[in-house]
Structure 1
Amino acid sequence: MAGTVTQAKPRARRGRRRGRHRAMMSEINITPFVDVMLVLLIIFMVAAPLMTVGVPVQLPETAATPLPAVEEEPLTVTITGEGTVTLMTTEISRDDLIPRLRAVAAERSDNKIFLRADGRVPYGDVAQIMGALNAAGFNDIGLVTDTGGPNMDSEAQ
């Protein structure tokens, strides 16, 4: 008897219905995450310039040019029209100003201080605060004013 070779029929697969079976998808769809991050970036880009020191004062106007931009937010001392002293946004007494400034400045790399004073504050009060800051070792003091004031140079006009 001659040997006959028969091919085995493939078995019918069980358990699968119509259509192809898909393997589990192991990728993360990051499109919604990117969309949310872009929206947040735009919101913060618009809101960041609005987040300045919030003590309302009427700054005097001068013809001075603005200072160059700094890396970290500078310390700001504000003297309001009523004579109260504010460090950043916290109202403090004049006696506590220097100890609080020293504590904050110890944690910072830049010791620049911006002094904002309402235009109604007498010059003597501003000079006293500047003298106290200077005596405490804070020599880099910038006076904050609004631009658009009178230009005293007759040739520049």
Structure 2
Amino acid sequence: MAAKLSGGGGKGVTEQNSDINVTPFVDIMLVLLIIFMVAAPLATVSVEVKLPAAVAKAAPNPPKPFYVSVQNDGRAYIGDEEVDITSVGSVLAQQIGNKAPSDERIFIRGDQNTRYGDFMQVMNSLQDHGFYSVALVGEDQSLQ
């Protein structure tokens, strides 16, 4: 705060000045304005080019993901359909038809109390039928 000395009155009496000095703020704003005025023309492209029309085909929809669920009692499901745990790979191969199994992405959802042996049976069945792109699905704890 600034102090203002008064000419009259008692000895050493000062009044407080509560005005805000905006001069430094205005100086900074003017400098920034000049910088942007100089930099803006440099950011534009000055070479004229006549671009051809783009005729791109629409991208195909991504394939429907396949979810394999393994419950803690050893039952396996593809989507909502229950399948034998050892035949998960063959059933998926029938469902994808003529497509290459290596192009498909399989999501495995396993109960947290699933036996490791049951889980490995599903993994082995998938690998035996050429499904190598496998993702494990877990619950996101950051949302709770």
* Structure (1/2) with the larger strand percentage: 2
TM-score scaled by length of structure 1: 0.45
The higher relative CO (CA closer than 8 Å, separation ≥ 6) is in 1
TM-score scaled by length of structure 2: 0.49
